[in-house]
Amino acid sequence: MFPFFTKARHLAEYAAVKALAMGINLLPIQRMTVLMRTVAAVLFALFPSRRRTVIQNLDIAYGNALSPGEKKAIAKECYENVLIATAELARLPKVRNDARSRFELEGLSDFEAGFAKGKGVICVLAHFGSWEYTSFLAYLTGHPATVLVRPVKNPYIFRWIQSLRKCTSLSPVDRSHTLRMLLGELRQNHIVAVLVDQWSGHRGLWLDFFGRPTSTTSLPARLAKKTGATLLPVICIRTRPGNYKIFV
């Protein structure tokens, strides 16, 4: 009985998300951006406990260097960025069609120098800017890329998200894959991308982050040490609605 209701709930969630994605794709990018900012403002107002968490994190990061009003403004912009970045994922196939006119790439000399060594490139990513669109670095330069992702609880939504990511010739794999597979990708002089701003559990690498201990992954460093691959941070910034700049 319970598996039946779980499956029914997952299918209902999937149908709702797909319907929302269809609506997002029907809107011009400017109107989609305005809509996401409006939704972000509503969510910011409706969920005080989540809002307090964001403000508390900003207190840790900035201390007394910023006023409460300035921290609140940053928190609102964080909500907006997450909503816009989520909507951008749904628009990924549409953006791909004219990607060369939408994206500017900076820092390619270090990037290509890594491939010249023949040992692959490890891209260190974070949930910063338009993080899903960092995949266009591989798409626009023609280098095969694999990225480690965390599965979402709804398997139907997860498969759909994975299919969107594959639109840029990206190979998204979950963290159950072995280290051997990632080493194989680097030995073929490919890209391996890892998001490092996620909780890695008690067995992760513990470091001070704004003076507080937290756990992150040591995987990029271990891969680089093992293979001699070039290790580079990559971010994608939204310069205006529908246009982006990728920094290596």
Q: What token pair was written down for 66?
A: 């910023």
What are the tens digits of pLDDT across the range 39-53? 999 999 999 999 999
pTM confidence score: 0.91
**What is the rounded CA–CA span in Å between residue 109 and residue 190?**
16
CB–CB of 168/136 below 8 Å? yes
CB–CB of 231/221 below 8 Å? yes
What are the tens digits of pLDDT across the range 221-236? 999 999 999 999 999 9
Q: What is the mean pLDDT of the chain?
A: 94
Nearest to 151 by CA among 128, 176, 133, 132: 176
CB–CB of 244/103 below 8 Å? yes
Q: State the pLDDT at residue 2.
A: 61
Query: Which segment of 142-151, 176-185, 207-216 scores lowest on mean pLDDT?
Result: 176-185
Q: State the pLDDT at residue 175.
A: 73
Percent of the chain with pLDDT over 90: 88
Residue 70 clears pLDDT 90, i.e. is over it: yes
Residue 1 clears pLDDT 60, i.e. is over it: no
Q: State the pLDDT at residue 201.
A: 87
What are the tens digits of pLDDT across the range 83-133? 999 999 999 999 999 999 999 999 999 999 999 999 999 999 999 999 999
Backbone angles phi, psi at 212, to 5 degrees: -115, 135
Q: State the pLDDT at residue 177.
A: 63
Nearest to 231 by CA among 147, 114, 108: 114
Length of the chain counted residue by residue: 248
pLDDT category of residue 194 using cuts at 50, 70 and 90: very high
Residue 194 CB neighbours (<10 A): 22
Residue 68 clears pLDDT 90, i.e. is over it: yes
**What is the rounded CA–CA span in Å between residue 85 and residue 146?**
20
Residue 243 clears pLDDT 80, i.e. is over it: yes
3 state DSSP class of 74: helix
Residue 245 clears pLDDT 80, i.e. is over it: yes
Helix axes 68-90, 48-62, angle to 10 degrees: 110
Question: Alpha helix locations (H) across the chain?
Answer: 2-26, 29-46, 48-62, 68-90, 92-96, 99-102, 108-116, 135-141, 155-165, 179-187, 219-227
